Amino acid sequence: MTKTNSGIFHFAIIFVLILEIGIQSSDEREFFVDRSKAGLTHVPKDLSLKTTILDISQNYISELRTSDIQLLSKLRILIISHNKIQYLDISVFKFNLELEYLDLSHNKLGKISCHPTVNLKHLDLSFNAFDALPICKEFGNMSQLEFLGLSATQLQKSSVLPIAHLHISKVLLVLGDPYGEKEDSESLRHLNTESLHIVFPTRKEFHFILDVSLSTAVNLELSNIKCVLDDNRCSYFLNILSKLQKNPRLSSLTLNNIETAWDSFIMILQLVWYTSVENFSIKNVKLQGHLGFRDFDYSNTSLKALSIYQVVSDVFSFPQSSIYKIFSNMTIQNFTVSGTHMIHMLCPSQISPFLHLDFSNNLLTDTIFRDCGTLTKLETFSLQINQLKELTNIAHMTKEMKSLHQLDISQNFLRYDENEGNCSWTRSLLSLNMSSNILTDSVFRCLPPRIKVLDLHNNRIRSIPKQIMKLESLQKLNVALNSLTNLPGCGAFNSLSTLIIDHNSISNPSVDFFQSCQKIRSIKAGNNPFQCTCELREFIQSIGQVSSDVVEGWPDSYKCEYPESYKGTPLKDFPLSQLSCNTALLVITIVVPVLVLAVTVSILCIYLDLPWYLRMVCQWTQTRRRARHIPLEELQRTLQFHAFISYSGHDSAWVKSELLPNLEKEDIRICLHERNFVPGKSIVENIINCTEKSYKSIFVLSPNFVQSEWCHYELYFAHHNLFHEGSDNLILILLEPIPQYSIPSSYHKLKILMAKRTYLEWPKEKSKHGLFWANLRAAINIKLME
């Protein structure tokens, strides 16, 4: 235990020094090298020259030389504890002018030689093999020395003289096993320190006469006190304690690792009671025998706080009420009994001055302080880690504690059943810790009315009931590690400013939380199984609207749990657009473009005469369907004409007087609608049949042509047949020029054909007619079957 305490103190010193280093040289990068537990037999050679903190503890190093560390000019902290060093020449540190902290504890040092240039703040030579105190005259030059750890088997008053003028904050003195053979009771007379910790030899009866009262220490700690074989009830140690009355400076006393009888233990308490000590702590006690001590004198004491930790007793055959009576009637302000297996405590016989009680880690039950009306001054009370079960009993216990502000009943087995009656808490209670119990939702109907801080984490709460008593003063609520599925509203908690609700089962937190809890200043809701859907989008947006300091752990602790594809994705990175989550907006986004497209298509249909083309396609399809039923022999004889002539009736004179005579005189078969259309068939069907039975389709173009609807039909089906057959079957004859503006929109195919295809233009000069007819006959010349 002593080694542990010493290690904790050393760690604290290191931590403080590191902070100081960070403050003093914030612009320089600090170098911390940890080579502890590395199996080293010597100081590493590969250390950076920037090293400021070096830990090579718990190795097998047996020697420390100047060459090992002389280049580490920036070294401030050096820890070489738990090694095998037997001899040390402090001059090895002459090049380490910034060295402040040196830990050489737990080695095998038997001798050191000093050097005047070293000026340390922390020097630990404890738990070594020194015979005499390792104090050199050069130690007197360490004006900054705050901690000094020493070890020896012999103490002499003269050994302390070199440092008598120094004001050291704490001295640790470890006495080796041979100590006591030649003992000087006044060895500590010249030791000037504020805190003194003396570790007596372990496993050895306490027969020492060292007068610890001669020290100037304000805080005194004594470890390893064993007096179980002494027939005089631990007389040596009790004699030392009685001398403490001579030291009015002493205000704090700590006893570690005590093994004695019950009567001696009570005598220790009684002797300290008469001293100037205000804070008395006893840790790790092993008690034997029976308690025969009955009367305790509570008068004339300076004691304010008594703490007893970790007590083990091998005999409990005496009436336990005797020890409870001694403890309960103590006239002190702070009383702690922890880790003692105490099963009960009596109510003080009169109004008690207790302000703070700590009975944690015991075996106390609900019966403690039942109907006790003498603890009216008690302000804080801890019953953590006991055997408490019924919350109503605990509430009733506090009813007479008129000044109780803070109560800790965590880590018990508390439950609350509404059928067992109402909870009658003291109205003064402001802070209540009921974490790590088996409480359910019903606990919210058993709470102190003026509570400000409430801790219910790690229970079995699934929801916070809506119909509960309003807690107008509640400012901080901790319900982490439960099974809550949503954030609570603040209807019953008007003053709530801090909410801790992480590690629950919240998947879709309510977006109304921030609207309901206007006074919230801190919320910790991370590490919940958030379901990343549209319902979560508004909550994420509401987090973005509050200050980053309000939502603790954001964004690292807020991650998607569902769906599986987004598991582990931070909520802030989850891709949820406003469009995908807003149904109305989504409908508008889809419907509006569809309507616009429909209107656009309708306008284009009207402008491009699409209905007409649809009718033509329908007619073409019907005709083609009927054509599939024509026998193969007839299909082979389908081509019957060299050309089908399409023209306007206004141009019939030119067709009959010029076109027909010049073509038919060369045995060219011409198909004309007026002589070759089959009666009884539709005009459209006749047009299709003629274009299919003709090798070429000749269109006589003129302003009259573009005004004829039937010419439009003929041009359309002939053009369709062009792409269907994959041949060049169209011949355009421009009889008269056609202005572009005069061509109707429905004739857009004609515009395309005239732009892409070569057409024959009827020459006005007669001299060119012969060439015109020759070209035309050549274009339609083909041998037809009989």
Tokens of 574: 């989850």
Virtual torsion, Cα 703, 709, 710, 711, nearest 10 deg = 30
List residues bridging with 338 in a β-sheet: 309
pLDDT average, residue stretch 768-779: 80
Side chain identity at residue 707, one-letter code: Q
Does the pLDDT at position 90 exceed 70?
Answer: yes
What is the model's pLDDT at position 461? 95
Tokens of 457: 């984490």
Lowest mean pLDDT segment, chosen from 67-76, 96-105, 519-528, 650-659: 650-659
* Distance between CA atoms of residues 109 and 656, nearest Å: 137
Mean pLDDT of the residues in the chain: 84
Tokens of 672: 């004309």
What is the model's pLDDT at position 98? 92
Does the pLDDT at position 21 exceed 50?
Answer: no
* Distance between CA atoms of residues 448 and 154, nearest Å: 60
Q: Which positions ≥6 away from 154 have C-beta within 8 Å?
A: 131, 132, 178, 179, 182
Does the pLDDT at position 8 exceed 60?
Answer: no
List residues bridging with 406 in a β-sheet: 380, 431
Question: What three-state secondary structure class fits 173?
Answer: strand
Q: Which residue has the higher pLDDT, 678 or 50?
A: 50
Question: What three-state secondary structure class fits 617?
Answer: helix
Question: What three-state secondary structure class fits 258?
Answer: strand
Side chain identity at residue 343, one-letter code: I
* Distance between CA atoms of residues 120 and 76, nearest Å: 9
- Express each pLDDT in 430-464 by its tens digit: 999 999 999 999 999 999 999 999 999 999 999 98
Does the pLDDT at position 584 exceed 70?
Answer: no
Does the pLDDT at position 397 exceed 90?
Answer: yes
Which run of H or of E encompasses 381?
strand 380-382
Count the neighbouring beta carbons within 10 Å of the beta carbon of residue 584: 7
Nearest by Cα to 225 from 276, 285, 169? 285
Confidence of residue 4 (pLDDT cuts 50, 70, 90): very low
Lowest mean pLDDT segment, chosen from 348-352, 471-475, 604-608: 604-608
Helix axes 583-607, 610-627, angle to 10 degrees: 80
Count the neighbouring beta carbons within 10 Å of the beta carbon of residue 671: 22
Confidence of residue 26 (pLDDT cuts 50, 70, 90): very low
Phi, then psi, of 563 in degrees rounded to 5 = -70, 170
Question: What three-state secondary structure class fits 568?
Answer: coil
- Express each pLDDT in 263-321 by its tens digit: 889 999 999 999 999 999 999 999 988 777 678 999 989 999 999 999 998 775 556 78
How would you write 723-771 as a 3-class SS string?
HHHCCCCEEEEECCCCCHHHCCHHHHHHHHHHHHCCCEECCCCHHHHHH
* Distance between CA atoms of residues 652 and 674, nearest Å: 11
How would you write 681-700 as a 3-class SS string?
CCHHHHHHHHHHHEEEEEEE
What is the model's pLDDT at position 587? 73
Helix axes 262-273, 320-328, angle to 10 degrees: 10
- Express each pLDDT in 224-253 by its tens digit: 999 886 556 688 888 889 998 888 899 999
- Kindly report each contact of residues 682-687 with a partner whose C-beta sits within 8 Å and lies 24 or more positions away, as own/partner: 682/619, 683/710, 683/713, 684/616, 684/619, 684/623, 684/713, 684/717, 685/619, 685/623, 687/713, 687/714, 687/717
Nearest by Cα to 451 from 478, 433, 469, 473? 473
What is the model's pLDDT at position 541? 81
Confidence of residue 726 (pLDDT cuts 50, 70, 90): very low
Question: What three-state secondary structure class fits 612?
Answer: helix
Side chain identity at residue 133, one-letter code: L
* Distance between CA atoms of residues 698 and 732, nearest Å: 6
pTM above 0.75, yes or no: no
Lowest mean pLDDT segment, chosen from 66-75, 289-298, 723-732: 723-732
Does the pLDDT at position 535 exceed 50?
Answer: yes
pLDDT average, residue stretch 26-50: 84
Q: Which positions ≥6 away from 401 have C-beta within 8 Å?
A: 375, 376, 378, 381, 426, 428
What is the model's pLDDT at position 678? 83
Confidence of residue 420 (pLDDT cuts 50, 70, 90): confident
Confidence of residue 1 (pLDDT cuts 50, 70, 90): very low
Asked whether 221 and 254 are in contact (CB, 8 A), the reply is yes
Nearest by Cα to 515 from 476, 551, 545, 471? 545
Query: From the CA atom positions of the chain, what is the Rg in Å?
Result: 53
Tokens of 704: 């009259």
Nearest by Cα to 694 from 625, 621, 645? 645
Confidence of residue 379 (pLDDT cuts 50, 70, 90): very high
Asked whether 163 and 148 are in contact (CB, 8 A), the reply is yes
Does the pLDDT at position 480 exceed 80?
Answer: yes
- Express each pLDDT in 688-709 by its tens digit: 788 888 888 888 888 877 777 6
What is the model's pLDDT at position 419? 81
Nearest by Cα to 498 from 516, 515, 520? 520
Q: Cis (ω within 30 of 0) for the bond into 563?
A: yes
Side chain identity at residue 414, one-letter code: L
Tokens of 624: 């083609």
pLDDT average, residue stretch 399-407: 96
List residues bridging with 697 in a β-sheet: 644, 730
* Distance between CA atoms of residues 103 and 93, nearest Å: 13
Nearest by Cα to 361 from 310, 406, 305? 310
Q: Which residue has the higher pLDDT, 455 or 723?
A: 455
Tokens of 681: 């068939």
Confidence of residue 612 (pLDDT cuts 50, 70, 90): very low
Which residue in the block uniquely carries the two structure tokens 């004695």?
A: 260
Tokens of 253: 């006393």
* Distance between CA atoms of residues 408 and 382, nearest Å: 5
List residues bridging with 198 in a β-sheet: 173, 222
Asked whether 499 and 482 are in contact (CB, 8 A), the reply is no
Which run of H or of E encompasses 280?
strand 279-288
pLDDT average, residue stretch 92-108: 93
What is the model's pLDDT at position 599? 85
Nearest by Cα to 99 from 66, 132, 128? 66
* Distance between CA atoms of residues 192 and 162, nearest Å: 11
The Cβ-side half-sphere exposure at 404, using a 13 Å CA radius, reads: 27
pLDDT average, residue stretch 750-779: 77
Count the neighbouring beta carbons within 10 Å of the beta carbon of residue 717: 24
Confidence of residue 523 (pLDDT cuts 50, 70, 90): very high
Lowest mean pLDDT segment, chosen from 58-67, 226-235, 546-555: 226-235
DSSP-derived secondary structure letter, 81? -
What is the model's pLDDT at position 330? 95
Which residue in the block uniquely carries the two structure tokens 């009315």?
A: 449
Does the pLDDT at position 33 exceed 90?
Answer: yes
* Distance between CA atoms of residues 350 and 772, nearest Å: 140
List residues bridging with 551 in a β-sheet: 523
